[in-house]
Amino acid sequence: MSPKKIGILICFLIIKVFIVSNAQCSQSKLNELALNNFREYLRIPSVHPNVNYDKCVIFLKNQAQSLNLPISIYEVRPKKPVVVITWEGTEPEKPSILLNAHMDVVPVFPNQWKYPPFAAHMDEEGNIYARGSQDTKSVSIQYIEAIRRLKLNGTRLKRTIHISFVPDEEIGGKDGMGAFVATQDFEKLNIGFALDEGRATPDDKFLVTYGERTVFQLWVNCTGKPGHGSTLFDNTAGEKLRVVIDRFMDFRASEKAKLRDPKVQPGEVTSVNLDMIQGGVQVNVIPNELSVAFDIRFAPGVNHTKFENMIKGWLKEAGEGISYTIIQQQPPVENTKLDESNIFWHAFEKTCDDNGFKLDIQIRTGASDARYLRKLGIPALGFSPMNNTPTLLHDNNEYLNRDIFLNGIYVFMKIIPAVANAL
């Protein structure tokens, strides 16, 4: 090889190294920015009860400004803001994509945490400890950072993207997404498909949920003959309560037994849990009333009317003077279709297959804001890219590893364009 050719080759290699070095430096800076934003958001204690969302709104305004994207704030209920950041597509007349997550987090017991729950401490292994690290401030920042990188890459999407940050999901979402979907402002967003929160998985698969069980919570009140604690009266509230509890818990055991079949997922059975008992005034006094609360989550396909009639039969069997009061009763909501009729699912699934993202497809065991969207006929998937991670939502020492968090940004960089350009 001539000296001239050698010189040209050396120059080419130097330029290539320079380009790669700059790209790595840029990637490193973007990762640092993403982690800083994640930890800053985690340090905002948007914790129940009586959440103040002001700092969340200020933080999100700054994020929108950094993305050079418009932001809208809707206050459907006083002090319950819904924040929406919008990236307009090249074909904005097409139904848009909603990326949803909630700002609020559940209460904490600080003395049971390794580190302060709102310090966003990152340990030597890169685990970031904070309430909301899994549920769902991680996915909020992953949406933002994925779009930041797509924009920097010069990507343009056909459909408009709306990122929504809603309040009060952890207490049912009635004054958050539940109220927002009933407004003209929501209707104007023209949502055609939505992604909402998922859940961490301990293996290498990503959980995807396409429906969820519906909530039915009630108090059962048993009245009976009061008297001295040393007597054995008939018709006591305690005797009736025992029968009631037995019937509910026997049904619970029969549903739990179905899970012995490894093919049956938790979201495919109806769960029943006894969560509260009230009554009595003193240990030596037979109470005239005892009450018990049950939290029931209906599996898809369960006939709610028939189930409630079954409960009425149990109470009649337990005796007279028994009544029930419904705490919360959600209507059944049709699951999102996972077939060729759903172009967004087809795009989502194909992209995951093409990129080697393994999926675990289930019915969600708990409730999420996606149910309000599905109720309107909007197809919605629950998806948070947190694999190889213990499930710690609502638990003490909730954390997410930095590498899992950063990989989630990469995952969304593949999925967001796929669903936004779905035909």
Give the catalytic positions in this structure. 104, 169
Q: Which residues contact 396 (CB under 8 A, 6 or more apart)?
A: 108, 109, 112, 113
The residue behind tokens 């909603």 is 98
For residues 119 and 133, what is the distance between their CA atoms, to the nearest angstrom? Answer: 11
Contact indicator for 378, 99 with CB cutoff of 8 Å? no
Q: Which residues contact 7 (CB under 8 A, 6 or more apart)?
A: none
Among the listed residues 206, 181, 185, the one whose alpha carbon sits nearest the alpha carbon of residue 370: 181
Contact indicator for 131, 399 with CB cutoff of 8 Å? no
Which tokens go with 305?
């009317």
Q: Which residues contact 2 (CB under 8 A, 6 or more apart)?
A: none
For residues 375 and 379, what is the distance between their CA atoms, to the nearest angstrom? Answer: 9
Which tokens go with 148?
């930041």
For residues 396 and 49, what is the distance between their CA atoms, to the nearest angstrom? Answer: 17
Q: Which string of DSSP letters, residue by residue, matches 246-265?
A: HHHHHHHHHHHHHTTSTT--
For residues 69 and 2, what is the distance between their CA atoms, to the nearest angstrom? Answer: 53
Coil, strand, or helix at residue 149? helix
For 230, counting Cβ atoms within 10 Å of its Cβ (0-12 exposed, 13-18 middle, 19+ buried), the class is: exposed
Phi-psi region of 142 (alpha: psi -120 to 50; beta: other; left: phi over 0): alpha
Contact indicator for 314, 248 with CB cutoff of 8 Å? yes
Q: Which string of DSSP letters, residue by residue, matches 299-362?
A: PTT--HHHHHHHHHHHHHHH-SSEEEEEEEEPPP-PPPP-STT-HHHHHHHHHHHHTT--EEEE
Pairing of strands 359-364, 289-298: unpaired
Contact indicator for 289, 237 with CB cutoff of 8 Å? yes
Report residue 413: phi and psi, to 5°: -65, -25
